[in-house]
Structure formats: C-alpha cells, structure tokens
A = this chain, B = another copy of it.
Amino acid sequence: MVSLRNSSDSPVPTIYILTATHYRLVQFAELTRMCQTLLHIKNVHWVVIEDAAAPSARLENFLNRCGVSFTLLATKTPSEQVLPPGQPRWRYARGVVQRNRGLQWLRENFKLGQNEGVVYMADDDNTYSLRLFDEIRTTKRASTWPVAFVGRLIWEGCVTKPGHPDIIYRMQTIFKPWREFPIDMAGFAVNLQLILSHPDAKFVADPKLYGMLETDFLKKLGLRNFTDLEPKADGCKRILVWHTQTKDPDIVALDNMKTGFQPTMLPGEFFEMTIPPAIMVIYSQLNPCGT
C-alpha cells in the first residue's frame, strides 16, 4: 500500500480506483473489460465495493484471477434508496453508499500528509483510454476533462480559454447548467490528501438532489466551482473516457436461473451445464425471433 517510487526517486502517486458494482447479467463481462484496462496501468489499486451484505466469493475469485492489486469491500444499498420497479433510472443515484464505503476505506488506511495518491470513481460500464490514467495521476487537488455521452450530449465538460489550456473558462453542458460542477462522476479525480483533509465529505443519496451528486461532493471538499479544477486532456481537448452503457441481454426466460442456468455460471468460473430435459421442452416451444 506504500507508493512506489520511480527511477528518479520521486514518488509515483498510486491511483485508487473506486468502483461500485452490483449484480446483473453483464456484470462480469464489464468487470472483465475493466480488469484488462487496469492491467495496463502501473501503480494502481482497485477498490471494488459490491452492493451486497458481504463480499461475494464470485467477485473475490474474479479479482484474484484478474491480477490487478485490489481491495474488495461490500455494503448493501438501504431499501429506501433502492429504485422502485418502473421508476425512471435517475430517480435515485446508484452506488452512493458503496462510494462512501470506498472513501471510508481510504480514510481508515491512509494518513494526511503521509501518502501520495489520487482517487477516481470509475464505474464498471464506462470505457477508459489508457492515457486517462497518466492524466489522473498528476492531479494536485482536483482535476477534470471532457466525458463522452453524458447529459445527452456527445460530450460534456470543460472548455479552456483559447491559448490558455490551463484555464477552464466554461463548461459544455445542457443539463442544469447552473451547477457549480456540471461534471459526471467519470469526469474528475481528486488528490488523496484532499479526501483525507475533508473527513466529512461524502455522497448523499437524495432524489431532491438529482444530478447534484458530483457538485455536492466537490463542494464538500472545499472547492468552489469548476474554475477551481485543473484541466486535463490537452486543455480539455481530448476524449479519454466514454460514458458507455451495455444493453441488458435479451434472454428468453430469466426463470431459467431457477433451474439449469445459474447466474453463478457467468464469471468464467468452472460450471456444469446440467439442464433438466423439461426445460429443453419449454425452450423448444418458444419461437424467439418471430420466424
């Protein structure tokens, strides 16, 4: 957990990637891709926080196989924060208590003034250019860059002053443009020291604060507005992260999970495929593609 030092003996800050994750069919596909991305990055520590009462063996096995330095934590989203069925997805911010658990872990394990590091909240469905991590690593207090496919724009985020790639003078956004930090979670990184020096800075799950999760958090870290952030990605001129989303697979009968198909088969674990004959009959009566 000690920061590595490069050949010139100056510290290379560790990047702490905080990833909230929850069970779904595509979970291990997305974590597999993210693992392959992080495997390319030096001096990274992946803090994965499961939405569960306790860490699952499936996820622990996966992370062990992945090969990236990791910590697996778990905390369950309280029932009152769980999105009711049929409600629009934005009704509740997801991953709130998990990200807070990750922040708690940082505060329990590192001390103000002692550890070099940078913190990035990276969801498991986004797409990350390898270059993004070089940009993140040099964050002194808090930094930002544009993110593709956010807020119903092709990209959303910082715009620097012409001829001054180090000065952000406006934010490209259409959703609640009055926000002090019109930024998606994928669009900022924070120095570990700033997290440690503001022990009460947490994310708040409140539908009334819809869309304000990032702004509320960054203000609690003592930042006033986007002009306080360090612009990255060549003066905010490159797309290095895409807010991609994966479709839910079109599966005939999720009931099959109660029978021969088991979700535990998916992570690439060894699995047995013993499907009762009755299930096969049911399937053969279906005409899945309308032909």
Chain B contacts for A28, CB-based, 8 A? 242
Chain B contacts for A172, CB-based, 8 A? 273, 275
Chain B contacts for A152, CB-based, 8 A? 250-252, 288-289
How many monomers of this protein are in the complex?
2
The distance in angstroms between the C-alpha atoms of A283 and B175, with both chains bound, is 9
Chain B contacts for A149, CB-based, 8 A? 25-26, 249, 251
Chain B contacts for A127, CB-based, 8 A? 29-30, 32-33
Cβ of A291 within 8 Å of any chain B Cβ, yes or no, is: yes
Q: Would you list which residues of chain A between 236 and 291 have a CB under 8 Å from chain B?
A: 236-240, 242-247, 249-252, 256-257, 261, 263, 265-273, 275, 283-284, 286, 288-289, 291
Chain B contacts for A266, CB-based, 8 A? 148, 154-155, 239
Chain B contacts for A36, CB-based, 8 A? 33, 36-37, 40, 130
Given contacts A90-B289, A174-B286, A175-B288, are A246 and B249 in contact (CB under 8 A)? no
Q: Would you list which residues of chain A between 209 and 238 have a CB under 8 Å from chain B?
A: 210-211, 234, 236-238
The distance in angstroms between the C-alpha atoms of A39 and B25, with both chains bound, is 26
Report the contact-size class of chain A (Cβ under 8 Å from the partner): 35 or more
Residues A284 and B247 in contact, CB atoms below 8 Å apart: no
Residues B247 and A247 in contact, CB atoms below 8 Å apart: yes
The distance in angstroms between the C-alpha atoms of A267 and B148, with both chains bound, is 10
Residues B239 and A265 in contact, CB atoms below 8 Å apart: yes
Partner of A265, one of B154, B240, B265: B154
Cβ of A55 within 8 Å of any chain B Cβ, yes or no, is: no
Residues A261 and B154 in contact, CB atoms below 8 Å apart: yes
Residues A154 and B247 in contact, CB atoms below 8 Å apart: no
Chain B contacts for A242, CB-based, 8 A? 26, 28-29, 32
Cβ of A163 within 8 Å of any chain B Cβ, yes or no, is: no
The distance in angstroms between the C-alpha atoms of A286 and B177, with both chains bound, is 11
Residues B174 and A283 in contact, CB atoms below 8 Å apart: yes
Residues B288 and A174 in contact, CB atoms below 8 Å apart: yes
Which of A174, A238, A245, A246: most chain B Cβ within 10 A?
A174
Cβ of A52 within 8 Å of any chain B Cβ, yes or no, is: no
Q: Would you list which residues of chain A between 71 and 105 have a CB under 8 Å from chain B?
A: 90
- Shortest CB distance A98–B (Å): 22
Cβ of A129 within 8 Å of any chain B Cβ, yes or no, is: yes
- Shortest CB distance A195–B (Å): 28
Chain B contacts for A131, CB-based, 8 A? 268
Partner of A155, one of B154, B174, B265: B265
- Shortest CB distance A68–B (Å): 12
Which of A32, A211, A256: most chain B Cβ within 10 A?
A32
Residues B251 and A284 in contact, CB atoms below 8 Å apart: no
Known pairs A131-B268, A174-B283. 20 more at Cβ < 8 A?
A26-B149, A29-B148, A30-B127, A36-B36, A39-B40, A90-B289, A148-B249, A148-B266, A153-B256, A153-B261, A154-B256, A154-B266, A174-B288, A211-B291, A236-B273, A238-B270, A239-B266, A240-B268, A244-B249, A245-B247
